[in-house]
């Protein structure tokens, strides 16, 4: 009888249980619970996230559903908890070659919950609660050599109506704006939304950024879908196409990517390395050949400039004069003429001390600029990459990927692995957002996945949207990984700039990318005054530390990044009115420092420079005209 009561008590406890997992600093709490379903003894797992603000836990995410679906059976409302693991401390240290911080260290608490569905098939859900957010993933732990299809998830995030959110409607190249809405209009419209998704917890200084990380060959990449009137943004897999499967196909055991939520103040999100924290360590250790740096880029001002040898030479000379280590030769280099071939251009660059990067079409059938279809198979890549080694090319830019299907994820990783064997840097364009691969494959220098400056070539929308857009990206897209926006353009391409020269100069600091492609024509950089030109000449593209000083999405941002003993600081005005940006210098040490600052001059096309003495107790109030900005370098005296 006692045994029966014990079993009954355990059963009732598991059905009604709510288990808490705390971050090491006790600021973040995850509650995992079961909601009963129609079948006796079975239910659906849910989770909610709380954040301690002013001594009280505030609900950062209301109770939201968990669950996953395979083609052969589901693991959603038919779950029974069979075991709750013990909390395990997570502590990791690693070094990044690019990103917002060189030396990374994380602390977390991990717990695994083991379930069975009505067919007694196992599902594990592992949670990690870090000091700056949470991550969770699904796993089918049993073994099977036959392939199974993972078709969908019940995972969702409930974001109540009226919550301020910044989300990008889904596009396979992730080139849309992060539009602020409160749900009043957008929630009347069903649709798909891309990662990352940012929202502010109503009436509290708490922010949440949702994304995913650590995608492997077992996975596709997901997105969020919204159903009218539900407040629920559900994790959704890409659909099948004529060439690729939808969802994921794998033998068992199988693990999903990590579902990631960064939680805290805006500075916690901007400074977080959670996406790489949960990603696999580097697949190779010989990284001495990997050198991030600044790049002169021929495309922006010329569109088809790379097929003109003389134009390419101009940009090689620009890189040499600006002391930038790289030149990117973009599409149509395979038909280069007017005095030389691509081999001639690479040889010329080498003589100038400049390393060449070459553009490739990934081989998709929806856009056809050349060279196309040279990377689609391992055999083709081996042939092409060996030729690049022979002629002295240092890296590749691969463009026009076709979606987030599992086959595309494999293709990205195949390119990265084969390129690493040939000591080639990689930059992905027309691509999915970063999901932690910069840690796993250290030769990945940057990814586009952003509505960047190249759009001045294509449409007039950025002319009026740029300032607001540029002050939203540091809180959304650029948080999850390096972003090849192709910034710092002073002249006009096909469409007009309205951001000021100081705003453009500041983008070099505000936007993080292992390869920073400076996109303007040579005359624009030669025409700068000595001080801002020298600022760009000595500009680093990797950072030891990053600090958000102030900001609000779409309005303004002030950020500081350290390289060695130098601090680079910058601010952007995202509004069409004058704003005062506040630069607190509390991140400095106790010495006196010299601060060379570049600000807007008498008009939007002039930059002033001055040097002052500052210390950590100072707060500078910098007036920025509409769509203006500032940048500068702080060095110890």
Per residue in 188-221, pLDDT tens?
Answer: 466 999 999 999 999 899 999 999 999 999 999 9
Q: Do residues 396 and 419 lie in contact, with contact meaning Cβ atoms separated by under 8 Å?
A: yes
Which pLDDT band, with edges at 50, 70 and 90, does 228 fall under? confident
Q: Nearest to residue 444, comparing CAs of 627, 282, 593?
A: 282
- Assess whether pLDDT exceeds 80 at residue 1: no
- Assess whether pLDDT exceeds 50 at residue 11: no
Percent of the chain topping pLDDT 90: 88
For the segment 28-39, the average pLDDT, to the nearest whole number, is 88
Whole-number pLDDT of residue 185: 55
Distances in whole angstroms, Cα of residue 242 to Cα of each of 149, 150, 171, 246? 17, 18, 18, 10
Whole-number pLDDT of residue 365: 65
Q: Nearest to residue 232, comparing CAs of 161, 137, 325, 327?
A: 161
Range of the domain at 570: 452-483+493-512+541-637
Q: Which are the contacts of 482, defined by CB distance < 8 A and separation ≥ 6?
A: 98, 99, 434, 438, 445, 446, 447, 512, 513, 514
Q: Tokens at residue 392, please?
A: 């002295």
Q: Nearest to residue 345, comparing CAs of 303, 428, 335, 415?
A: 335
C-alpha 517: how far from chain center:
17
Q: Tokens at residue 267, please?
A: 């500075």
Q: Which are the contacts of 296, defined by CB distance < 8 A and separation ≥ 6?
A: 315, 316, 318, 319, 322, 324, 326, 327, 328, 518, 522
140 SS3 class: strand
For the segment 374-388, the average pLDDT, to the nearest whole number, is 97
In a domain, 242, yes or no: yes
Give the single-character DSSP code of 314: H
The residue from 250, 277, 304 where one domain ends is: 277
143 SS3 class: strand
In a domain, 338, yes or no: no
Q: Do residues 97 and 287 lie in contact, with contact meaning Cβ atoms separated by under 8 Å?
A: yes
For the segment 230-250, the average pLDDT, to the nearest whole number, is 91
In a domain, 419, yes or no: no
Per residue in 77-92, pLDDT tens?
Answer: 999 999 999 999 999 9
Per residue in 238-247, pLDDT tens?
Answer: 998 877 889 9
Per residue in 295-313, pLDDT tens?
Answer: 999 999 988 889 999 999 9
Q: Do residues 162 and 445 lie in contact, with contact meaning Cβ atoms separated by under 8 Å?
A: no
Which pLDDT band, with edges at 50, 70 and 90, does 9 fall under? very low
Per residue in 15-30, pLDDT tens?
Answer: 456 899 999 999 999 9
The residue from 211, 244, 277 where one domain ends is: 277
Per residue in 317-331, pLDDT tens?
Answer: 999 999 999 999 999
Q: Nearest to residue 126, comparing CAs of 43, 66, 74, 37?
A: 66
Neighbours of 565 (CB within 10 A): 10
In a domain, 488, yes or no: no
Residue with token string 């926006």: 485
Q: Report angle CA 512, 526, 467 to the nearest 5 degrees.
A: 40
CA dist 584 and 549 (Å) reads: 7
Cβ burial of 48 (10 Å; 0-12, 13-18, 19+) is middle
Whole-number pLDDT of residue 18: 80
Q: Tokens at residue 144, please?
A: 């099977």
Whole-number pLDDT of residue 13: 41
In a domain, 349, yes or no: no
Per residue in 480-505, pLDDT tens?
Answer: 999 999 999 999 999 999 999 999 99
600 versus 16: the higher-pLDDT residue is: 600
CATH number assigned to the domain comprising residue 551: 2.60.40.1180
Q: Which are the contacts of 462, defined by CB distance < 8 A and separation ≥ 6?
A: 451, 453, 455, 456, 469, 495
Cβ burial of 163 (10 Å; 0-12, 13-18, 19+) is middle
In a domain, 440, yes or no: no
Mean pLDDT of the chain: 94
Cis peptide preceding 156, ω within 30 of 0: no
Whole-number pLDDT of residue 10: 38
Which pLDDT band, with edges at 50, 70 and 90, does 41 fall under? confident
Query: How are beta strands 326-329 and 293-297 bridged, if at all?
Result: parallel
Per residue in 556-579, pLDDT tens?
Answer: 999 999 999 999 999 999 999 999
Percent of the chain topping pLDDT 70: 95
Which element (helix H / strand E) includes 462? helix 461-470
Q: Tokens at residue 116, please?
A: 């069975």
CA dist 338 and 332 (Å) reads: 13
Least confident piece of the model among 187-191, 420-424, 534-538 = 187-191
Least confident piece of the model among 35-44, 119-128, 151-160, 582-591 = 35-44
Polymer length of the chain: 637
Helices (H), 127-250: none
Q: What's the pTM value of the predicted model, to 2 decimals?
A: 0.95
CATH number assigned to the domain comprising residue 58: 2.70.98.10
Query: How are beta strands 74-75 and 88-95 bridged, if at all?
Result: unpaired
CA dist 497 and 524 (Å) reads: 13
Reading across the β-sheet that carries 545-552, which strands appear in turn?
545-552, 556-563, 566-573, 629-636, 593-600, 607-614
In a domain, 425, yes or no: no
Q: Can you name the residues that pair with 393 across neighbouring β-strands? A: 356
Domain count, the chain: 2
Per residue in 278-290, pLDDT tens?
Answer: 999 999 999 999 9
Whole-number pLDDT of residue 37: 74
**Packing angle of the helix pair 342-351, 378-391 (nearest 10 deg):** 50
Per residue in 141-191, pLDDT tens?
Answer: 999 989 999 999 999 999 988 899 999 999 999 999 999 988 665 544 669
Q: Nearest to residue 49, comparing CAs of 109, 124, 134, 112?
A: 134
The residue from 234, 257, 277 where one domain ends is: 277
In a domain, 147, yes or no: yes
């Amino acid at each position: 009888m006692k045994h029966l009561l014990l079993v009954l008590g355990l059963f009732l406890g598991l059905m009604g249980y709510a288990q808490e997992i705390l971050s090491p600093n006790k600021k973040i709490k995850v509650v995992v619970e079961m909601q009963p379903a129609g079948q006796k003894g079975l239910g659906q797992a849910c989770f909610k996230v709380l954040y301690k603000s002013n001594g009280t836990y505030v609900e950062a995410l209301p109770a939201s559903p968990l669950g996953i679906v395979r083609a052969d059976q589901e693991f959603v409302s038919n779950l029974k908890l069979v075991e709750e693991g013990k909390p395990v401390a997570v502590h990791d240290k690693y070094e990044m070659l690019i990103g917002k911080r060189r030396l990374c260290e994380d602390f977390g608490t991990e717990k695994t919950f083991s379930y069975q569905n009505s067919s007694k098939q196992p599902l594990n859900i592992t949670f990690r609660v870090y000091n700056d957010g949470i991550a969770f993933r699904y796993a089918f732990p049993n073994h099977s050599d036959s392939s199974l299809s993972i078709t969908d998830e019940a995972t969702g995030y409930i974001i109540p109506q009226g919550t301020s959110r910044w989300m990008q409607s889904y596009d396979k190249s992730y080139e849309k704006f992060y539009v602020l809405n409160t749900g009043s209009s957008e929630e009347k419209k069903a649709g798909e939304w891309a990662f990352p998704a940012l929202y502010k917890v109503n009436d509290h200084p708490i922010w949440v950024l949702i994304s995913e990380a650590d995608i492997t060959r077992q996975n596709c990449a997901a997105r969020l879908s919204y159903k009218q009137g539900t407040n629920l943004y559900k994790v959704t897999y890409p659909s099948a196409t004529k060439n690729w499967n939808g969802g994921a196909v794998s033998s068992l055991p199988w693990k999903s990517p990590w579902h990631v939520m960064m939680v805290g103040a805006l500075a916690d999100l901007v400074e977080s390395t959670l996406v790489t924290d949960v990603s696999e360590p580097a697949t190779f250790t010989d990284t001495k050949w990997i050198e991030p740096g600044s790049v002169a880029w021929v495309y922006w001002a010329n569109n088809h400039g790379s097929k003109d040898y003389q134009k390419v030479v101009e940009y090689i000379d620009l890189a040499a004069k600006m002391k930038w280590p790289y030149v990117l030769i973009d599409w149509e280099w395979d038909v280069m003429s007017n005095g030389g071939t691509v081999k001639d251009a690479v040889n010329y660059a080498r003589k100038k001390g400049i390393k060449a990067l070459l553009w490739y079409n990934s081989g998709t059938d929806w856009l056809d600029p050349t060279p196309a279809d040279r990377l689609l198979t391992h055999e083709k890549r081996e042939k092409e990459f060996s030729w690049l080694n022979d002629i002295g090319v240092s890296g590749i830019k691969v463009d026009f990927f076709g979606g987030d299907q599992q086959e595309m994820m494999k293709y990205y990783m195949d390119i990265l692995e084969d390129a690493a064997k040939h000591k080639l840097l990689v930059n992905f364009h027309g691509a999915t957002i970063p999901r932690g691969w910069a840690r796993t494959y250290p030769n990945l220098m940057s990814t586009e996945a952003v509505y960047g400056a190249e759009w001045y070539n294509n449409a007039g929308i950025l002319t009026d949207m740029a300032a607001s857009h540029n002050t939203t990206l540091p809180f959304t897209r650029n948080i999850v990984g390096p972003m090849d926006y192709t910034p710092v353009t002073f002249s006009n391409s096909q469409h007009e700039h309205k951001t000021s020269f100081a705003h453009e100069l500041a983008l070099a600091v505000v936007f993080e990318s292992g390869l920073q492609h400076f996109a303007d024509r040579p005359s624009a950089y030669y025409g700068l005054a000595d001080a801002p030109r020298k600022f760009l000449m000595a500009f680093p593209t990797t950072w030891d530390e990053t600090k958000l000083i102030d900001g609000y999405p779409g309005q303004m941002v002030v950020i500081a990044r350290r390289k060695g003993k130098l601090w680079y600081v910058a601010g952007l005005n995202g509004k069409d009115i004058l704003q005062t940006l506040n630069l607190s210098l509390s991140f400095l040490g106790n010495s006196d420092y010299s601060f060379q600052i570049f600000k807007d001059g008498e008009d939007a096309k002039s930059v002033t420079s001055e040097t002052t003495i500052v210390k950590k107790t100072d707060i500078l109030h910098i007036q920025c005209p509409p769509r203006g900005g500032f940048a500068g370098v702080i060095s110890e005296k």
